[in-house]
Amino acid sequence: MFTLPWQAPYDWAWMMGFLAARTVEGVERFAGQTYIRSFALDGHQGLMRVTPDEASHTLVITLSDGLLPVKEACLQRLEQLFDLRCEPQQVSAALGELAAARPGLRLPGCVDPFEQGVRAILGQLVSVAMAAKLTSRVAKAYGTPLEDDPEFICFPTPQQLALACPLALKALGMPVKRAEALIHLAQAAISGALPLTPPDNIDAAMKVLQTFPGIGRWTANYFALRGWQAKDVFLPDDYLIKQRFPGMTPAQIRRYAERWQPWRSYALLHIWYSDAFKPADQLMAK
């Protein structure tokens, strides 16, 4: 058993709810307050079990024996997924009233940027629930059953997905263009064109992502938000964000959001999950 610390406040109910809504069947599972998922790295595979202990402000983690040789990497990935290094007081001080209602909101990351890229592409123009179903179909079709627990599947590697047939992916319930985008993403991960660690220049890397087939500005930004856990990304073209800023263009919304630098990713989450949000001074954004 391992533990990782986190700073209070932390809204675990929100975080677990966010992940539960996006559960990929076969890869992830919830058992009460415990999050369970398969993971594979460098030829090692197994299950990671995670339970928050709010009394001690620690995340309690159990790794399968198969993952113990890469335990440090597993713990690092879980830190990223749950944003455990966040200093919430610093973020709240920068966001002011925007963060007052939910100071424990954290930025959901991922354990595998390639997996997150697949999720982002499959999440285009469909509901959260449908995106999870599509991702599960891809995982079951191309992933590897976990040796010690065949009820779980290890998410497909770039090498596995790069060999997929676009028409076979289409048969899982996606447009062929989206299938081709997944295959190109896998090829980019193999070649290094898709950074699997946070790049030094997030903005430049997002522009490169937008040259990939099937990846527009929204998807590139969302991938940076979760795949690289970029802290200063905002989505002015997002449908819900545009609803929160009525009468303002994406360019005006982008300028308005500059007040929340360098924590615009957290600002985005607060606005997404606050029905009561209203911009304080629209004229300043014009």
**Which residues are catalytically annotated?**
238
CA dihedral 155, 158, 159, 161 (to 10 degrees): 70
| Residue spans of alpha helices (H) in the chain | 12-21, 71-82, 88-95, 113-122, 128-142, 158-162, 166-170, 176-191, 202-209, 217-227, 239-244, 250-257, 264-272
Which positions ≥6 away from 100 have C-beta within 8 Å?
92
Terminal CA-CA length for the chain: 54
Residue type, 113: P
Beta-bridge partner residues of 49: 36, 62
